[in-house]
Structure 1
Amino acid sequence: MKTTPEHDERIAKMSFASVYPHYVTKVERKGRTKEELHQVIEWLTGFNDKMIQELIDEKVSFETFFQKAKINPGASLITGVICGYRVEEIENPLTQKARYLDKLVDELAKGRKMEKILRKV
């Protein structure tokens, strides 16, 4: 699925620190915890709690965030629609990774079991 260059650029330049509080609010409002959110982020990126906090403090862009990440091989198993895009069809790799994260946060907030969210390869 094609995204526009402007859309891809906007995601690349957006800071992880600006989106992170929205992730926390979303999952906590639905009865999940910040610890579960961090577990999902760590599964996708390899970042532990300390590294997540450092990236927030540094106000890194999503571009830098995903450059530093070690994307889980199971990420390709993430499918479905988020923000009007089918994640498995997004052509821009950075935009796809950002939407993978959005999809995982969404699944967590919707009460999906952790073992289903953390796809096994």
Structure 2
Amino acid sequence: MYPHYQAKLERKGRTKAELDEAIEWLTGFDDEALERHLEAGTTFEEFFEQATLNPNATLITGLVCGVRVEEVEDPLMRKIRYLDKLVDELARGKAMEKVLRG
């Protein structure tokens, strides 16, 4: 999914560095760790199992594909929706300090 996120953001004038910053904020993975996951073809399940989710991730609320992020019951799907929501907010031009809650 990373290439899709990157393409979406670049079409909206955002950068790969901004995407990576949002991913690092959410998961704790720095550039090197993220690159290892990308090269290994890590699944979302493996990716989020190894992540240290930001304690402020629960502040990510709102709709993604018509579904309220905060109401998603499956823990893995909620984490994926958190990431989707961050990417959506960046694509809409929201300031990075607002995207990275707290």
> If the TM-score is normalised by the length of the shorter chain, which range does it land in?
over 0.9
What one-letter code is carried by the residue in structure 2 that aligns with 1:54? R
Whichever of the two has the greater Rg, that structure is: 1
What one-letter code is carried by the residue in structure 1 that aligns with 2:53? I
Report the equivalent of 2:29.
47
- Fraction of identical pairs, as percent: 60
TM score, norm. by length of structure 2 = 0.98
CA–CA distance in structure 1, aligned partners of residues 34 and 87 of structure 2: 15
CA–CA distance in structure 1, aligned partners of residues 34 and 64 of structure 2: 23
Shift of residue 110, structure 1, vs aligned partner: 0.6
Report the equivalent of 2:11.
29
CA–CA distance in structure 2, aligned partners of residues 106 and 38 of structure 1: 14
Q: Which blocks of at least 5 consecutive residues in structure 2 are unaligned?
A: none
Alpha-carbon RMSD: 0.5
Equivalenced residues, count: 102
Q: Relative contact order (alpha carbons < 8 A, sep ≥ 6): 1 or 2 greater?
A: 1
Runs of 4+ in 1 over 6 A off after TM superposition: none
Q: Which blocks of at least 5 consecutive residues in structure 1 are unaligned?
A: 1-18
